[in-house]
Structure 1
Amino acid sequence: MSTNPYTGKRLSYDGRLCTVRYQGEVQGTKGEWLGVEWDDPTRGKHAGEHQGAKYFDCLHPSPTSASFIRPTRPPDPTHSFPSALKSKYASDLPTSSPTFEDPDVQIVFTTSPKNVPTPSTRPIKFGCKVAEEVGFDKIRKQLAQLSELRVVILDGLGMARPEVRGDGWVEGRGEDDVREVCPKTVELDLSRNLFEEWREVASICEQLEKLKSLRVDGNRFRDTTLSEAEEDRCRRAFANINFLKLEENLLPWEDIARLTHLFPTLASLGASSNLYTALSSHTLNMTITDLTLEDNLIPSLSAIDSLAKLPNLQRLILKSNKISEISSSGVSMPVFSSTVAEVDLSFNELSAWSFVEALALVFPGLISLRVSHNPLYESLQAPDGRALAADDGYMLTLARLGNLKTLNHSPINPKERLNAESYYLSMIAKEVQFAPENMREQILKSHPRYAWLCEEYGEPDVQRSANAINPNSLAARLLRVRFYLAKDKSKRYEAEIPMSCTAYTVLGMVGKHLGIKPMECKLLWETGDWMPAKGRLVAFDDYEGESEDSEGEANVDRMMREVEVVPGTRSIGTWIDGSEASVRVEIDSWA
């Protein structure tokens, strides 16, 4: 066979990439076979076994990642870098003359055989409109200017550089073939090709002096080791690259970490879809500020403890893993650098508020968090037993993390934080109210921000009663509300409303009974809680000088806390706590 198969050889059949894992006989059959592991783990029929006998192991744990094929089966041809580039960006275009018709303009694409003059140079007209004539030779000429390409994508083109494997790179084989065709390349994508050694990638990059971004996803390297001299040569080759992606390579973390040290200015690294369950102690290049480990199998934050050593890390993407806890039993909680400001934990397996609260300790510099699509938010319940919506989970999350400025890609404004924190404080009060008296201290300790919230908004009044309503009863799901018009207090309306009623529904009811257009109503729940008038400087800023008793007035200046019921589909129980409430109705004439 011309391909000379060996363990670790990369091949392609009908565009499907694979790696040779075995060569030899298979019991119960005649002749030799190649045992291959497909890059697509659903492509095969087994995992390296036949009739109960194991012949080879696969990197991917899928039971359908391998096949046996005959060595005589011809593989797809292999491309060099120049041939792959030309096939992608300068291939022959069709010679037919497709026509695009538009009711207003008609553009006719035409081609002419070489050396055959066109019959006329007069413009073609359709009525009073002149057709635009574009020659394919002109387009081909533009595409063929490979030397001007800045972004080069050669994904899945069956490319390899066998001439530089082993000592070939040291001997300088093919050292100018890339520079000659696309010397101005800034971004390069070499994903899903037939590279076997890291030298092949380095031999390309060292010829591209302006290269800043490199993607090598989906290449299954059998050898990433380099001599000391080769490592020095790699550092020169990768000197200007600050963006690197090594996704779906299934490389051990040790290899990933070692490779990053070959990039002196590396800032962003992607190592997603590599089936990692834990990261070894091998550290990445300290220059990294942005790290993506999406779509792996990481179960806890302690499993990536080695990343806490990165002093410049700012952004950590852990989306679509299996994270369910901060640390496993017997392992201390990791503490990351205060430079880590953005973390993505969406699509994981978080199920407890204690995890969310601990994030403030694990990431002391955290200001941007994405935590949506976790089990925690799928079955939220209030202390009185009623179900909570996704919006409630959003509010309770930002209230638990006082430094957040962005949650689930939404900026947090001061008014939203005020509503969320007061809502959270009321939920803590409810939890204490419906729990046995001897559980009070334990409950309050489970809310690390409780003391701060009480200092900021005042301690909530927890009222207990021997005749307390069963939280699972119908009465517990009804809210008695007294509405009154702000400009005319004689206009009142009182009703029992299910807590599940949306704010829109309540606005409709109030508007109908008070004779106001619903969207002109502004509903303000008067909580009855008094707090310092934070930020109210009118008493002093309107005067040029200070009075003798201004300090005393500042100490006693207090105002009632009010919560606006914002029009929307959120339930009224989201905004109003307790079983009774007084709501002031104001008129927004501009609405």
Structure 2
Amino acid sequence: MNKRVQDADGFRGSVRYEGPIQGKNASTVYWGVDWDDPSRGKHSGESGGVRYFEAAHPTSGSFVLPEKVSLGIGILEALHERYMQSEDLDSRAAGRVGTSSGSSKPIQLVGVRKIQEKQDLGVIGKVSVEGSQISHIGNEGELYRVAPNIVELNLGFNLLSSWSEVLKLSTELPQLEHLVLSGNILTYDVDVAAPLVTFPTVHVLVMHYTRTSWGDLLRICRDHFPALRELHAASNQLTDDALRQAADIPSLLEVVDLSHNQVTEWSSVESAVGTWPRLHTLSLNGNNLAQIQPPAPSSSLFLQLASLSLSNNAIADWASIDALNSFPSLEALRLTRNPLLMNVGSAEARMLVVARCASLKVFNSSDVRLKEHQDAEHMYLKRILHEKATVSAFSNRTTLLTHHPRFPELQSLYPDICAAHDAATTTLGATTGPAALAKSLAKVTFVPMSMNATTMDTMVKALPLSMKVAQVKLLVEKKYGLLPTQHHLSFRASKKAMPMPLDDDNGELGYFGVQEGGELLINDLL
């Protein structure tokens, strides 16, 4: 009942029932198959009111005749088909030789196919037999005699069905370091009373789409892969409750991929992998995480975590980004396609994330240089000061620090920016306070960079920091003949600074960090 099969169209499934079915010839044996792809099936394992098996999905089950599906082949046969030159005979011509009669005849090399196999597979180190319908490893010693030097083996999307079969590889491939088992629905059927079979040299294990439970994943790592450094287990339907299961810690694991599962709560991630002492790379793409909580100051959570991937989640608040700043070793972050960043321009989103995470060196696969980090922090600090001056709720320091926990640190790093803010406040008079600061002016230079501008002359103008971007665009239209829908604006504090797009027409100039002496760049919309 644990056979894996594949049909003529390449669909794979597990046999869950063997026997007759109601309404058909009683002597005909059918196989009830639970297909990996539900679109291949027709029902849940029930037919004519009779339950024959329980399918994993309401439409993933169907009945087939045994001769309509394949039970697979051995790994040696797959290796020969994938890597050997196709020859129908064990002999071939190797040139011609003259005869006594003056004619010539071909030289036949008998057994050349067997020799070629031994030469090719005997030295090969990286092997991929993905999608080759492999269902078994073969007899003991066969694979070792033919291909003993395999270091990296991809057995993805085959017909392997049990761990007892997979474990046979341990004696066949003594140098194996990287094993891919993705797409094989494997039952853990190992006799717990038998001596443990291990892969002492395997560092990387890839098990995407295997429907393996979290408990079994941890047991497999602990009992059979003592040297494992990387575990890739995406798309295994892992839930928060599953991740919270107590288990022994695979202390050597450094890289873990739990992408495209069903994880929604950060606390379950903490329970599952947060205390692993060597974990430095964690991928959680394609889950449904909405919030990240900072680790408690006295905790030992994620102490070595340097790289975190959170693309395609549901993160929607800046508090989650602020929480990441509490991870002591975090240097690389991937955060594409989250609601939080879909409501702002890409440049502004990058600036805010970089500024809120002090140690970030890579964001969305792009390096963060020191100059960019400093520019982002400058801009972010100016925004905080602007909000402090114009948003009444932020006059309360506790509220301000809740929204901007890095504010005290940035004040210490850039006292000149704070001094300029204080000077502007003093100049406007203590009696008028924040309201006056909101009306203060900044003299900036308009720099046309659009080929459609009626003039390429620059324009110097003092603008209120409370002025909205939409109003500035009207000034551009009047001076340069560019409709608001035809151009976009960006600001840079100096010619060496990174331009910051003013991509919110309702945003005030002060919010974007516009300051005295800077430049407003006018570009065509792409």
**Offset of residue 415 of structure 1:** 1.7
CA 1:416–1:434 in 2, change beyond 3 Å: closer, same or farther? same
CA 1:524–1:356 in 2, change beyond 3 Å: closer, same or farther? closer
What does 1:19-30 align with in structure 2 at a 5 Å threshold? 19-24=14-19, 26=21
**Offset of residue 493 of structure 1:** 2.8
**Offset of residue 8 of structure 1:** 2.1
Distance in 1 (CA, whole Å) between partners of 2:35 and 2:2 is 12
Query: What amino acid is the match of 2:410?
Result: L
CA 1:438–1:324 in 2, change beyond 3 Å: closer, same or farther? closer
Alignment: residue pair count: 457
SS in 2 for 1:417: helix
Query: What amino acid is the match of 1:577?
Result: G
SS in 1 for 2:460: strand
Aligned partner of 1:78 in structure 2 is 72
What does 1:115-514 align with in structure 2 at a 5 Å threshold? 117=96, 145-161=120-136, 174-231=139-196, 234-235=197-198, 238-261=199-222, 262-278=224-240, 279=243, 280-304=245-269, 305-326=271-292, 336-361=301-326, 363-380=327-344, 389-437=345-393, 440-441=396-397, 442-458=399-415, 459=418, 460-461=421-422, 464-465=434-435, 481-483=443-445, 493-494=460-461, 499=469
Structure 1 portions without partners, runs of 5+: 1-6, 96-111, 120-136, 164-173, 381-388, 470-475, 486-490, 511-521, 526-561, 586-591
Distance in 2 (CA, whole Å) between partners of 1:333 and 1:74 is 61
Aligned partner of 2:452 in structure 1 is none
Distance in 1 (CA, whole Å) between partners of 2:368 and 2:322 is 18
> Is residue 242–residue 265 contact of structure 1 (8 Å, CA) maintained in 2?
yes
CA displacement 1:46-70 (0-9 Å, x = unmatched): 33334676543334xx443222223
> Is residue 283–residue 306 contact of structure 1 (8 Å, CA) maintained in 2?
no
**Offset of residue 245 of structure 1:** 0.9
SS in 1 for 2:274: helix
Aligned partner of 1:45 in structure 2 is 42
CA RMSD of aligned residues (A): 4.2
Distance in 2 (CA, whole Å) between partners of 1:402 and 1:438 is 22
**Offset of residue 480 of structure 1:** 7.0
Aligned mate of 2:4, from 10, 18, 24: 10
> Is residue 259–residue 287 contact of structure 2 (8 Å, CA) maintained in 1?
yes
Distance in 2 (CA, whole Å) between partners of 1:501 and 1:42 is 55
Moved more, 187-196 or 22-31: 22-31
Query: What amino acid is the match of 2:124?
Result: L
CA displacement 1:9-36 (0-9 Å, x = unmatched): 2122213221012345555655454321
Aligned partner of 1:104 in structure 2 is none
> Is residue 302–residue 334 contact of structure 1 (8 Å, CA) maintained in 2?
no
**Offset of residue 93 of structure 1:** 5.5
Distance in 2 (CA, whole Å) between partners of 1:53 and 1:257 is 37
Distance in 1 (CA, whole Å) between partners of 2:137 and 2:80 is 19
Query: What amino acid is the match of 1:83?
Result: E
> Is residue 32–residue 45 contact of structure 2 (8 Å, CA) maintained in 1?
yes
Aligned partner of 2:483 in structure 1 is none
> Is residue 177–residue 201 contact of structure 2 (8 Å, CA) maintained in 1?
yes
Query: What amino acid is the match of 1:13?
Result: D
CA 1:52–1:41 in 2, change beyond 3 Å: closer, same or farther? same
User: Identity rate of aligned residues, in percent?
Assistant: 27
Aligned partner of 2:510 in structure 1 is 577
Distance in 1 (CA, whole Å) between partners of 2:386 and 2:308 is 31
> Is residue 347–residue 374 contact of structure 1 (8 Å, CA) maintained in 2?
yes
> Is residue 218–residue 247 contact of structure 2 (8 Å, CA) maintained in 1?
yes
CA 1:74–1:44 in 2, change beyond 3 Å: closer, same or farther? closer
CA 1:118–1:348 in 2, change beyond 3 Å: closer, same or farther? farther
> Is residue 291–residue 320 contact of structure 2 (8 Å, CA) maintained in 1?
yes
Query: What amino acid is the match of 1:151?
Result: K
> Is residue 375–residue 497 contact of structure 2 (8 Å, CA) maintained in 1?
no
Aligned partner of 1:544 in structure 2 is none
CA 1:159–1:583 in 2, change beyond 3 Å: closer, same or farther? same
CA 1:341–1:578 in 2, change beyond 3 Å: closer, same or farther? closer
Query: What amino acid is the match of 1:69?
Result: V
Distance in 2 (CA, whole Å) between partners of 1:575 and 1:285 is 52
Distance in 2 (CA, whole Å) between partners of 1:368 and 1:446 is 23
CA displacement 1:109-128 (0-9 Å, x = unmatched): xxx97377399xxxxxxxxx
**Offset of residue 523 of structure 1:** 8.4
SS in 1 for 2:31: strand
**Offset of residue 255 of structure 1:** 0.8
CA displacement 1:405-454 (0-9 Å, x = unmatched): 22222222222112111211222233334433586332333221111112
Distance in 1 (CA, whole Å) between partners of 2:182 and 2:357 is 36
CA 1:306–1:495 in 2, change beyond 3 Å: closer, same or farther? same
SS in 1 for 2:373: helix
**Offset of residue 156 of structure 1:** 1.8
**Offset of residue 316 of structure 1:** 0.8
CA displacement 1:182-238 (0-9 Å, x = unmatched): 01111111222222221211212312121111111111123343334341xx22xx1
> Is residue 258–residue 284 contact of structure 1 (8 Å, CA) maintained in 2?
no
Distance in 2 (CA, whole Å) between partners of 1:25 and 1:192 is 29
**Offset of residue 345 of structure 1:** 1.0
Distance in 1 (CA, whole Å) between partners of 2:314 and 2:43 is 30
**Offset of residue 501 of structure 1:** 11
Structure 2 portions without partners, runs of 5+: 99-110, 426-432, 448-457, 481-489, 520-526
CA 1:492–1:67 in 2, change beyond 3 Å: closer, same or farther? closer
CA 1:379–1:207 in 2, change beyond 3 Å: closer, same or farther? same
TM-score by length of structure 2 reads 0.75
CA 1:447–1:313 in 2, change beyond 3 Å: closer, same or farther? same
Query: What amino acid is the match of 2:130?
Result: D
Query: What amino acid is the match of 1:89?
Result: Y
Distance in 2 (CA, whole Å) between partners of 1:152 and 1:300 is 38
Distance in 2 (CA, whole Å) between partners of 1:200 and 1:33 is 25
Aligned partner of 1:384 in structure 2 is none
TM-score by length of structure 1 reads 0.67
